[in-house]
Chains A and B, each alone.
Chain A
Amino acid sequence: MNKNFLEVKNVDFSAGGKIKVKNVSFSIKKEGDIICLLGPSGVGKTTILRTIAGLEKINNGTIELNGKTLSSKKINIEPEDRNISLAFQENSLFPHYSVKKNILLGAERNKEKKNQSIRFEKLVDLLNISKILNKYPHQISAGEAQRASLARSLISLPDLLLLDEPLSNVDQSFKEEIQVSLKKILKKLKITTIIVTHDSYEAFYLGSKCGIIINQELKQFDDPYNVYHLPNSIEVVNFLNRGILIPAEVTGENSLENDDLGTIEGNFIKHYPKGSNVKLLIQPEDLEHDDKSNLKLEVVDRKFRGTNFIYTLRTPSNTLIPVFVHSHHIHQHEVDEKFGIKRPIHIDHIVCF
């Protein structure tokens, strides 16, 4: 049986004597994979990274990297002996060294891996930090410090790279560009990475797997597509905050009935017996607009999101449902107007709880 590259087994992650996340198990199959951990603020995502880095100890479970136990109740390899790099969310650059010197300190580690290393200039270019190389940490912005810190971590070629909200302070205009560069570098250097973020789009783009941590538990660890479309619990749905749950009755192999929307068809992810009362997940992209439809709902709000509008519609039973409409749609609907929903309603994968 092939061993996983990183194996976290039944670990209670704690900080300051308090358990933050309980009984966590997940793995990274092969070297070079990127996974993301998502969750609300303060849930313990950073604690997980700090523990894997060796900055916090564990009393339960084991953490193994490449077949070697790093942490367990009895074993705790010191952080300096793990060859794991953690890029902190806040500025952790050495304050008395220039940005350039800070980054080059990272290059002093793992010199034997020269053949797979990335050139300093290239890295600086990709992360767009060439203008700040001779500045000191107190002279640069938080976003620049984050990118410099990221560069130092990348150039050190660790066995495992841990990134704590790596782009949280980076300007929105830069963010996507850097996300692309980061993914490219990580893939090129084959650096196994765990990224902690609260930005689900960032996680879905960068990670091949995403873990959702809510209420002290790792609720779901799956492909980004599945996490989004096939959430395994109401908590995950609420955290992703992209849909609502409405009451419905299962009427057949591929259909449900809702008092307001009528018949809804699609493929059930999980089988429910006919006649079951369930909560059906409706996501904004599940319903389509159709002016000619006789299913009319009242517009209570309209948000412009660039590529699309999100209409919030009120059903006769007073439920609020979000619906996407392309922003180039021929006309817009004002608040209090009626808004038509295409019938029959077909949802690709029906998620019920």
Chain B
Amino acid sequence: MVIYCGCLTFFMIIGGYNMKFNIWYISSFFISIIVLIPIITVSFSFFESTSNYYEILKDTFLIEYIFNSLILLISVLIFTFILGAGAAYLVSFYEFPGSNFFKWALILSFAVPPYIYAYSLTAFFENYGTAFTLLKTLFGDANYNKSIPKFDGMFGAILSISFSLYAYVYILTRASFLYQSQNLIDLGKNLGFSKFESLYKIILPAARPAIVAGLSLVAMETLAEFGAVDFFSINTLTTGIYNSWIYFDDLAFANRISFFLLLFIFTMFILENLSRRKAKYHFNTREGLKQKEKAKLLGYNSFFAFIFCFFLFFLSFLFPLSQMFYWTVKFPENLFDLDKLNLVLNTLYLVVMSSLVLIIFSLISNYGNRVSGNRSLNILSTLSISGYAIPGVILAIAFITFIAWFDNSIIKTLGFNSIKKIFIGSVLGLVLVYFVRFYSLAFNGIKSGYEKINISVDESAYLLGYSKKKTFMNIHIPFLRNSLLFIIILISLEIIRELPITLILRPFNFETFATTAYISASEDLLEAAAAPSLFLILIASFFIMITSKYILRETHE
């Protein structure tokens, strides 16, 4: 940790060399450093000694953790590619019944986190579950349990994660398809390509960077997934981290697995960034952007396209929604027992606090980068947005490790009272870790807004006599207003769905819809998990609906 502080000072001096230290530079620097703390903490903790648990685990479960994580990852990638790219292709290039509806409806799957999908899947297919009741109502008494397939274990986890995350591939691929030059497609026709040949010779290769970017996001989320894999009792690296801390009280070992997982995730992160950079090289001419003429599908083709999109929409959104709705209605006592007002207030409290902190600091950091034009600060900011790639479990544990170190080595050495209680098991701690987790969302959102303001606009303002502060307040803020609103809604959506960080760091007796659902499900009270899950899906759907225009537009801007 001493080395760590030394590195920070060194970086700051190097960064500030050759420029005057202004308040914007220093603020941006410190914000970036705060966001980087978990990564640095995990890296340093790798070298600390662990309990015997590591020795036991190394020879037994560690291979299983890695193997399961890989199986899960590869399967989810295959599923999400087929679902996401397939749907994007159909709605972008063809007109069929409902194609305009599916265009935005398919992103509603974001409202269903994998763990709620997992509850729905189990609730429907389990012995004497909803499928059983349905068959019994339709066809009378029989032992249907034998013939109803069971979607649990690894396959259940793969399905839950795939149906929840395919929208990443769908959104990015669709955006890329929209950007594809009409000329390119016309050229394909000119060369006599069939629809299928155009797809695999022109359309898919041109969209490859976007598809890779979408799949990288899916990969990061899959490796970070906790709720669904924990529910299906799959031992992955993420659950391993959680277990080594909760059940074996070995923070150092949790950090050690985290380090391995981080290396894995950073590979995905770099891949995603590289793909994104390449994704900008689509034709971007006025001709290229002209509205592509969608081919009207007829007969069998039209039916197939409709069925594919409908089933995708049904399975990813309507199915979990109706399952949770059915159980909420079937067991109304759970709905009445649910402390709805308190949960809404808690969620609102977290959303408001986190949004405020994220927006304010991301604005400062972006503006600092813009006015200082310092390269090293830019690199630091780019590194610091990697927070979104780090699983919530790792962030929460790294945060606890850092606070424990800071408390023992600095605060107590200086003779002050312990600060652990201020940060661990408090809303402040929760908001801080949310800040790290969702910083990239806010930072990148504002950055993409800023990228639309040419730097000469700032300079014009200075030359009209505007100070830096006046330029920020009168030019930047009004221009970024819509972006800020969009970011706040996205943050809200993420916080409502967030599980592991909230679970680990929440204050005593402080619950959200996500934690309430998780706790009920982990106690095998799936019926009780239905009501909070339903609330969560409805609120998230509302946010998605009001931002769908932005989500579908922003991604291709």
By a beta-carbon cutoff of 8 Å, the part of chain A in contact with chain B is 50, 53-55, 78-86, 88, 90-96, 105-106, 108-109, 149, 152, 156, 158
A109 to chain B, nearest CB (A): 5
Indicate if the CB atoms of A90 and B463 lie closer than 8 Å.
no
When the two chains form the complex, which single residue of A84, A85, A94, A106 contacts B457, counting CB atoms closer than 8 Å? A94
**Distance of A54 Cα from B465 Cα, bound (Å):** 12
Question: What chain B residues lie within 8 Å of A91 (beta carbons)?
Answer: 454, 456
**Distance of A53 Cα from B465 Cα, bound (Å):** 12
Question: What chain A residues lie within 8 Å of B465 (beta carbons)?
Answer: 80-81, 83, 109
Question: What chain B residues lie within 8 Å of A156 (beta carbons)?
Answer: 464
B373 to chain A, nearest CB (A): 9
Indicate if the CB atoms of B475 and A94 lie closer than 8 Å.
yes
Indicate if the CB atoms of A86 and B463 lie closer than 8 Å.
yes
By a beta-carbon cutoff of 8 Å, the part of chain B in contact with chain A is 452-454, 456-457, 459-467, 475, 478-479
Q: Known pairs A90-B454, A92-B460, A106-B464; list 16 more (Cβ under 8 Å).
A: A50-B459, A53-B463, A79-B459, A81-B465, A84-B463, A86-B460, A86-B463, A88-B460, A90-B456, A92-B456, A92-B459, A93-B460, A94-B460, A94-B475, A96-B479, A152-B460
**Distance of A156 Cα from B463 Cα, bound (Å):** 10
Question: What chain A residues lie within 8 Å of B452 (beta carbons)?
Answer: 95
- The answer to whether A85 and B454 touch (CB under 8 A), given A95-B479, A96-B478, A96-B479, is no
**Distance of A80 Cα from B463 Cα, bound (Å):** 5
Question: What chain B residues lie within 8 Å of A92 (beta carbons)?
Answer: 454, 456-457, 459-460
Question: What chain A residues lie within 8 Å of B464 (beta carbons)?
Answer: 80, 85, 105-106, 108-109, 152, 156
B479 to chain A, nearest CB (A): 4
Question: What chain A residues lie within 8 Å of B478 (beta carbons)?
Answer: 96
Question: What chain A residues lie within 8 Å of B467 (beta carbons)?
Answer: 80
**Distance of A149 Cα from B464 Cα, bound (Å):** 12
Indicate if the CB atoms of B454 and A78 lie closer than 8 Å.
no
Question: What chain A residues lie within 8 Å of B475 (beta carbons)?
Answer: 94, 96
Indicate if the CB atoms of B461 and A94 lie closer than 8 Å.
yes
Question: What chain A residues lie within 8 Å of B466 (beta carbons)?
Answer: 80
- The answer to whether A95 and B453 touch (CB under 8 A), given A80-B466, A80-B467, A109-B465, is yes
**Distance of A109 Cα from B475 Cα, bound (Å):** 16
Question: What chain B residues lie within 8 Å of A84 (beta carbons)?
Answer: 463
Which residue of A is nearest B478, CB measured?
A: A96
Indicate if the CB atoms of B462 and A78 lie closer than 8 Å.
yes
When the two chains form the complex, which single residue of A55, A94, A95, A152 contacts B462, counting CB atoms closer than 8 Å? A55
Indicate if the CB atoms of B454 and A86 lie closer than 8 Å.
no
Indicate if the CB atoms of A55 and B457 lie closer than 8 Å.
no
Q: How many A-B residue pairs have CB under 8 A?
A: 61
Indicate if the CB atoms of B457 and A95 lie closer than 8 Å.
yes
Question: What chain A residues lie within 8 Å of B454 (beta carbons)?
Answer: 90-92
Which residue of A is nearest B475, CB measured?
A: A94
**Distance of A95 Cα from B479 Cα, bound (Å):** 7
Which residue of B is nearest A83, CB measured?
A: B465
**Distance of A92 Cα from B454 Cα, bound (Å):** 7
Q: List 29 A-B pairs, Cβ < 8 Å.
A: A53-B459, A53-B463, A55-B459, A78-B462, A79-B462, A80-B463, A80-B465, A81-B465, A83-B465, A84-B463, A85-B463, A85-B464, A86-B459, A88-B456, A88-B460, A90-B454, A91-B456, A92-B454, A92-B456, A92-B457, A92-B459, A94-B457, A94-B461, A95-B479, A96-B475, A96-B478, A105-B464, A106-B464, A109-B464
Most chain A beta-carbon contacts within 10 A, residue among B465, B466, B478, B479: B465
Question: What chain A residues lie within 8 Å of B462 (beta carbons)?
Answer: 54-55, 78-80
**Distance of A109 Cα from B460 Cα, bound (Å):** 13
Question: What chain B residues lie within 8 Å of A152 (beta carbons)?
Answer: 460, 464
Which residue of A is nearest B460, CB measured?
A: A92
**Distance of A80 Cα from B465 Cα, bound (Å):** 4
A336 to chain B, nearest CB (A): 42
Question: What chain B residues lie within 8 Å of A78 (beta carbons)?
Answer: 462
B397 to chain A, nearest CB (A): 43
**Distance of A95 Cα from B460 Cα, bound (Å):** 12
Question: What chain B residues lie within 8 Å of A79 (beta carbons)?
Answer: 459, 462-463
B47 to chain A, nearest CB (A): 39
A118 to chain B, nearest CB (A): 17
**Distance of A95 Cα from B453 Cα, bound (Å):** 7
Which residue of B is nearest A85, CB measured?
A: B463
When the two chains form the complex, which single residue of A88, A108, A109 contacts B459, counting CB atoms closer than 8 Å? A88
**Distance of A86 Cα from B460 Cα, bound (Å):** 7
Which residue of B is nearest A102, CB measured?
A: B460
Pick the 9 closest A-B CB pairs, nearest first: A92-B456, A79-B462, A92-B460, A88-B456, A96-B479, A80-B462, A80-B465, A109-B465, A96-B478
**Distance of A79 Cα from B475 Cα, bound (Å):** 17
**Distance of A85 Cα from B462 Cα, bound (Å):** 9
Most chain B beta-carbon contacts within 10 A, residue among A78, A82, A96: A96
Question: What chain A residues lie within 8 Å of B457 (beta carbons)?
Answer: 92-95
**Distance of A93 Cα from B461 Cα, bound (Å):** 9
**Distance of A55 Cα from B456 Cα, bound (Å):** 10
Question: What chain B residues lie within 8 Å of A54 (beta carbons)?
Answer: 462
B72 to chain A, nearest CB (A): 45
**Distance of A149 Cα from B460 Cα, bound (Å):** 9
Question: What chain B residues lie within 8 Å of A86 (beta carbons)?
Answer: 459-460, 463
**Distance of A54 Cα from B478 Cα, bound (Å):** 26
Which residue of B is nearest A55, CB measured?
A: B459
Question: What chain A residues lie within 8 Å of B461 (beta carbons)?
Answer: 94
**Distance of A158 Cα from B463 Cα, bound (Å):** 9
**Distance of A53 Cα from B462 Cα, bound (Å):** 10
Question: What chain B residues lie within 8 Å of A93 (beta carbons)?
Answer: 457, 460
B452 to chain A, nearest CB (A): 7
Question: What chain B residues lie within 8 Å of A96 (beta carbons)?
Answer: 475, 478-479
Which residue of B is nearest A81, CB measured?
A: B465
A52 to chain B, nearest CB (A): 11
Which residue of B is nearest A53, CB measured?
A: B463
A83 to chain B, nearest CB (A): 8
**Distance of A93 Cα from B458 Cα, bound (Å):** 10
**Distance of A80 Cα from B454 Cα, bound (Å):** 18
B60 to chain A, nearest CB (A): 57
Which residue of B is nearest A16, CB measured?
A: B373
Most chain A beta-carbon contacts within 10 A, residue among B454, B478, B479: B454
**Distance of A96 Cα from B477 Cα, bound (Å):** 10
A65 to chain B, nearest CB (A): 14
B82 to chain A, nearest CB (A): 38
Which residue of A is nearest B482, CB measured?
A: A96
B451 to chain A, nearest CB (A): 12
Most chain A beta-carbon contacts within 10 A, residue among B452, B453, B463, B478: B463
A6 to chain B, nearest CB (A): 16
**Distance of A352 Cα from B460 Cα, bound (Å):** 45
Question: What chain B residues lie within 8 Å of A109 (beta carbons)?
Answer: 464-465
**Distance of A84 Cα from B462 Cα, bound (Å):** 10
Which residue of B is nearest A82, CB measured?
A: B463
Which residue of B is nearest A158, CB measured?
A: B463
B457 to chain A, nearest CB (A): 5
Most chain B beta-carbon contacts within 10 A, residue among A50, A81, A88, A152: A88
A122 to chain B, nearest CB (A): 21
**Distance of A241 Cα from B497 Cα, bound (Å):** 68
**Distance of A79 Cα from B463 Cα, bound (Å):** 6
Which residue of A is nearest B456, CB measured?
A: A92
**Distance of A78 Cα from B463 Cα, bound (Å):** 9
**Distance of A54 Cα from B460 Cα, bound (Å):** 12
B467 to chain A, nearest CB (A): 6
Which residue of A is nearest B462, CB measured?
A: A79
Which residue of B is nearest A89, CB measured?
A: B456
Question: What chain A residues lie within 8 Å of B453 (beta carbons)?
Answer: 95
**Distance of A327 Cα from B459 Cα, bound (Å):** 47
**Distance of A225 Cα from B465 Cα, bound (Å):** 37
**Distance of A80 Cα from B466 Cα, bound (Å):** 6
Which residue of B is nearest A92, CB measured?
A: B456
